[in-house]
């Protein structure tokens, strides 16, 4: 009999398109799962339910998982992504995070 894999915490980032608003949304949700693939499967199921209750919102079939080192709590890292880039810091932030088109607050 195979040993059961331990349940671990994952942050999963999914991307959505709000057609009427003309915006994309990134959401990070937390899941316990035995693997990144299982966490993504669970997150994508939730993503479809999220779209079902909103008008004109599509899941763009993009999800990535991050296995957390700690149990969620204050200060716990829930998602991390590393990207190689030769851009200077300010230009990197303007290109990928602070383009001026964000809706935040």
Q: Please state the pTM of the whole predicted model.
A: 0.80
User: How much is the pLDDT for 36?
Assistant: 96
Q: What is the pLDDT of residues 22-68, one digit of tens each?
A: 888 899 999 999 999 999 999 999 999 999 999 899 999 999 999 99
User: How much is the pLDDT for 93?
Assistant: 87
Per-residue pLDDT at 80 exceeds 90: no
User: How much is the pLDDT for 105?
Assistant: 64
Distance CA 14, CA 9 (A): 16
Distance CA 9, CA 31 (A): 6
């Amino acid at each position: 009999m195979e040993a059961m894999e331990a349940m671990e915490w994952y942050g999963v980032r999914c991307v959505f398109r709000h057609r009427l608003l003309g915006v994309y949304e990134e959401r990070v949700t937390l899941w316990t799962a035995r693997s990144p693939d299982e966490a993504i499967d669970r997150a994508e199921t939730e993503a479809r339910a999220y779209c079902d209750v909103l008008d004109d919102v599509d899941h763009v079939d993009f999800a990535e998982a991050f296995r957390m080192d700690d149990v969620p709590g204050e200060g716990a890292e829930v998602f991390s992504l590393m990207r190689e880039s030769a851009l200077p810091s300010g230009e990197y932030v303007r290109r990928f995070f602070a383009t001026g088109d964000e809706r935040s607050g």
